[in-house]
Amino acid sequence: MLKYLEAVSKIRGLASPFPVETVPLTSADNRVLARPVFADRDYPPFDRSAMDGIAIRLADYQQGAREFHIAETIFAGSEATVALEEGTCYRIMTGAPCPPSADAVVRNEDITYISSQQVRVQSEQVVPKQHIAQQGEDLTKGDRALAAPCRCDVSAIGTLAALGVNNVPVYANPSVAIVTTGNEVVDIGRQPNRFQIRNSNQYLLRSLCCRWGLPIGLCQHAPDDPAILRETLGQALDHHITIINGGVSAGDADYVPQVLADLGVETLFHKVLIKPGKPILVGTTPNGGIVFALPGNPLSCLVTFKLFVEEYLWCCYGFAHTRLKKAQLLNYRPKKTSLDEFFPVFREIHTDGYTWRPHHGSGDITAAVGCDGIGWHPQNRRDIKANEVISILSLSSF
Ligand code: AMP
Ligand code: MG
């Protein structure tokens, strides 16, 4: 049976880049940029005043001048018509171009008006180019502004807009099929009898897919009946990613592995030395898709999605760095098994570390409520001491 990291490296070996498509900037939120973006011109494109105030000749100030005659007012979006002469200044607004004849801006806070045409500089010190954002200081034309892959988060969206990228090259998101299984599992719109449970994992999986922007092409439930399973999975396997829930363990009604084999799915691995989620099966379909058959318990479903489905997506988007983040676990955690264990972690607002809390088992529907990530207790560690740094997978996708 594979260990966690061995299973992860098998998944990485399967990943290949998703196709690239172009979407309007207004639809690019949270998508993954597939091509680097370069500056179309210098940024700032001109020497720009960073403050409301006056623009002066530094030499005048250095020679002792403190009073200046206002030659002209320059607003953002317009330019000066005259060059500064000795003892003169511009009134200048934030965002306005600072003409070459001025080489320092003094803030309004540091000047007083003697008359509407005459100001006095109060500052003790004026340094060259102060409060002037210089042309090209952020980017020079042709510089790489955004590397790829890069998630189009809020600041990337702002930068793309600043660069005039209206059509954004992003990786196409793969379509997903979700198939839940189990005779005891009923749709949430129905009243379950005493021995039935609601199909919560369908919604859990929808929500997880939604965070990655994955379109869900098929979402169905199948009872533990090989013929019906075969029919449902037959349709599901047309999608790039098929996520199956339940029916993958060793019970008498766990038909998923056999049905997948009958449908030509080649097993990449079945069962991994992890807790929760040990029964997971990952395989490839005859037409190049990938199947993740996740165990049915809610926490197992969440953890195995985070560990394996997200690893696959991450690699297909071309991210090279690890998804794991370092974080401090504030409370002691013992471990009895020799498995890699995964558990919900909760961020403590006042200390910035994380804590874990016991639950009864992976069937608890509240085990992960309010958690910020999934912590990793490595297989070879008996216990984690209080305040040790561990690796976590953040609950947000990226
Ligand atoms: P299985 O992996 O099919 O053996 O199921 C393991 C446990 O997860 C059982 O207690 C199931 O009732 C439960 N379970 C299976 N499918 C779901 C589902 N879609 N939503 C919530 N719980 C489920
Ligand atoms: Mg089942």
Please tell me the predicted confidence (pLDDT) of residue 291: 98
What is the bridge-based pairing of β-strands 266-270 and 383-384? unpaired
Q: Do domains 20-43+137-171 and 324-394 have the same CATH topology?
A: no
CA nearest to 180, candidates 313, 53, 294: 294
What is the average pLDDT across 35-53? Answer: 98
Which pLDDT value is given to residue 369?
96
> What's the pLDDT tens digit per position in 265-287?
999 999 999 999 999 999 999 99
> For 4-17+173-316, which CATH superfamily applies?
MoaB/Mog-like domain (3.40.980.10)
CA of 195 to the centre of ligand 2 (A): 13
Atom of ligand 1 nearest to the CA of 221: 19
> What's the pLDDT at 396?
83
Place of tokens 């570390």: 353
Residues at CB less than 6 angstroms from ligand 1? 180, 182, 184-185, 197, 199-202, 245-249, 251, 295-298, 363
Of all protein residues, the one whose alpha carbon is nearest to atom 11 of ligand 1 is 296
**Rounded distance from Cα 218 to ligand 1 centre (Å):** 19
Confidence of residue 352 (pLDDT cuts 50, 70, 90): confident
Architecture of domain 324-394: Beta Barrel (2.40)
Identify the CA nearest to 12 among candidates 390, 272, 321, 253.
321
Domain ranges of the chain: 4-17+173-316, 20-43+137-171, 48-133, 324-394
Q: For residue 141, how far is the Cα from the chain centroid?
A: 28
Reported as a single tens digit per residue, the pLDDT across 186-235 is 999 999 999 999 999 999 999 999 999 999 999 999 999 999 999 999 99
The class that CATH gives domain 48-133 is mainly beta
Pair of tokens at residue 275: 């807790």
Q: How confident is the model at residue 63 (pLDDT cuts 50, 70, 90)?
A: very high
Which homologous superfamily does the CATH classification assign to the domain defined by 20-43+137-171?
Answer: Molybdopterin biosynthesis moea protein, domain 2 (3.90.105.10)
pTM above 0.85, yes or no: yes
Closest ligand 1 atom, CA of 248? Answer: 2
Q: To the nearest whole number, what is the mean pLDDT of the chain?
A: 97
Identify which ligand lies nearest to the alpha carbon of 300. 1
The atom of ligand 1 lying closest to the CA of 181 is 16
